[in-house]
Structure 1
Amino acid sequence: MRIYSFDTLPSTQKWLIGKISEGRVEPPCAVIAQMQTDGVGSRENSWIGSPGNFFSSVALPENALPRDLPLAAASIYFACIMKKTLKNMGSETWVKWPNDLYIQSRKIGGCITAKKGKTVVAGIGVNIVDGPHEFGVLDIKISAHELLEAYLENLKKTPSWKHIFSNFRLEFENSKNFHTHFGRETLDLREAVLQNDGSLIIGKRRVVSLR
């Protein structure tokens, strides 16, 4: 897989989606930046961090993803593979529904996905050096480029959604100590029931991750 590397980008996600739209890059490919100044976060927030943190986006053809993956759960899928990558290196990272990477009770990163034609683009940020005071930092020592290479190796294995989800379901209880945002609403996850497609039932409502 070709990797495009930059010292600084406004956003790896915006760069990769833009180049795909222009026909200047073709999936599968990835982009990584040493510094990101206007990254894309959940709910259109910016994800900005210090130089040396992990800022990357990966583009895969839709037909390269497992057939049983519900596209609305793509962020869960990509985040869980990052979690697996980190845990294999000794980290205690877990995934909070639907796309956040946590260590204990502090967020250290997250994943956001977008679909451009028949290409799925997953952007991931991880605080591996430092982060704002309300965020956490990765509990292992690794460079951004080393992490990207390990992550891409795990993506190449194309684990099924069934396999990813079986592990995610086990740790979903951790998410119940938190809330999530759905549009402009803040939803308490204490009574949420996880469905097989990665969506939640909260009360009488079905909530789908569209990040």
Structure 2
Amino acid sequence: MSLKKIKSLLNKNDFDFYYLECVDSTMSEIKKYNFKKNICLMANQQTKGFGRRGTTWESPKGNIYISILFKSIVDIQNHFINNAFTTNIICNVLEKVCNVKTEIKWPNDILINDKKISGIITEIYNNNNVNFINTGFGINVMTSPNLDNYLTTNINAYQKEINNFSFAFELMEEYFKNFHILISHSESILEMYKSRLKYLGSQIKLKINDNLFKEGILFDLNNDGSIILKSESTSETIYNARIIK
């Protein structure tokens, strides 16, 4: 699979496509381009990749690092629907290629057999009073980073006859084949997301910050991406935390 085929696919769907061998971060690099066009930026390596809450995202060569930037087609308060849509697409293609079940660990990790294979991050920008949404994701294809207290895996552990370019093409094909679902703000997006949500209905422990932890049942996922944490006496909406069950 060549980069030309990926570029052709993106161009047919009104997106400019750029490939760079190495960047600090695709999320930062993509902001250097013209905000008047839809853009997809792919890199082979990141030197300063980051995840939610500013955590370091190890980004060695041979994996997928992509950011997609376009004019927001949903209200800002509902931007999580874009995150959920992208997560669903990645899960769909991983399950097809690797012939395995995926799970989503709130708020933004995709797991196979309890090991992280992908992560997603979304940012909102305002440029000349127009809102743009920037969705970045990394997918372990050839290698898996070594993370303290967090198991990881990669696509080649399940399917060796695929590389980052061929997987990226399949991913973007699936993305645009289903893009109409995002445009229509379909409820099926959140339904599909919740069907894969790990720990839904189960007891969890959350790390809010270094000094604050909370426990309860992951009762539900709200439309804005927050979760409802229930205990015997309280029900609380949590917007930002990490599950450490």
* Cα RMSD for the two superposed structures: 2.7
**TM-score (normalizing by structure 1):** 0.82
- The reply to whether residue 199 of structure 1 matches residue 226 of structure 2 is yes
Q: Distance in 2 between matches of 1:132 and 1:183?
A: 24
116-125 or 146-155: bigger deviation: 146-155
Count of residues paired in the alignment: 203
Residue 126 of structure 1, aligned match among 139, 146, 165: 139
Contact 2:81/2:189 (8 A) holds in 1: no
Q: Distance in 1 between matches of 2:86 and 2:63?
A: 18
SS in 1 for 2:18: strand
Moved over 3 A (4+): 173-188
Q: Distance in 2 between matches of 1:85 and 1:186?
A: 35
Which residue of structure 2 aligns with residue 81 of structure 1? 89
Q: Distance in 2 between matches of 1:14 and 1:155?
A: 22
Q: Check 1:187–1:104 CA distance in 2 against 1; reply closer, same or farther (3 A cut).
A: farther
1:49 partner amino acid:
S
Q: Deviations over 1:30-79 (max 9, x none)?
A: 1111111111212101212221011111112212x5x7x92145433322
Q: Distance in 2 between matches of 1:80 and 1:209?
A: 21
Q: Distance in 2 between matches of 1:105 and 1:19?
A: 36
Which residue of structure 1 aligns with residue 153 of structure 2? 136
Task: For residue 12 of structure 1, report the CA deviation from its aligned partner.
Answer: 0.6
Which residue of structure 2 aligns with residue 35 of structure 1? 45
Contact 2:108/2:121 (8 A) holds in 1: yes
Residue correspondence of structure 1 range 54-65 to structure 2 within 5 A: 54-63=64-73
Task: For residue 107 of structure 1, report the CA deviation from its aligned partner.
Answer: 0.9
Q: Deviations over 1:143-199 (max 9, x none)?
A: 2222222222233222244112212222224465765554555555x6011134142
Q: Distance in 2 between matches of 1:76 and 1:179?
A: 23
Q: Check 1:140–1:11 CA distance in 2 against 1; reply closer, same or farther (3 A cut).
A: same
- The reply to whether residue 97 of structure 1 matches residue 106 of structure 2 is yes
Which residue of structure 1 aligns with residue 5 of structure 2? none
Contact 2:110/2:117 (8 A) holds in 1: yes
1:28 partner amino acid:
N
Q: Check 1:30–1:182 CA distance in 2 against 1; reply closer, same or farther (3 A cut).
A: farther
1:132 partner amino acid:
P
Unmatched runs of 5 consecutive residues or more in structure 2: 1-14
2:227 partner amino acid:
L
SS in 1 for 2:21: strand
Residue 193 of structure 2, aligned match among 160, 165, 168: 168
Q: Distance in 1 between matches of 2:93 and 2:237?
A: 30
SS in 1 for 2:217: coil
Residue 148 of structure 1, aligned match among 154, 168, 172: 168
Q: Distance in 2 between matches of 1:140 and 1:128?
A: 9
1:143 partner amino acid:
N
Structure exhibiting the larger radius of gyration computed from Cα positions: 2
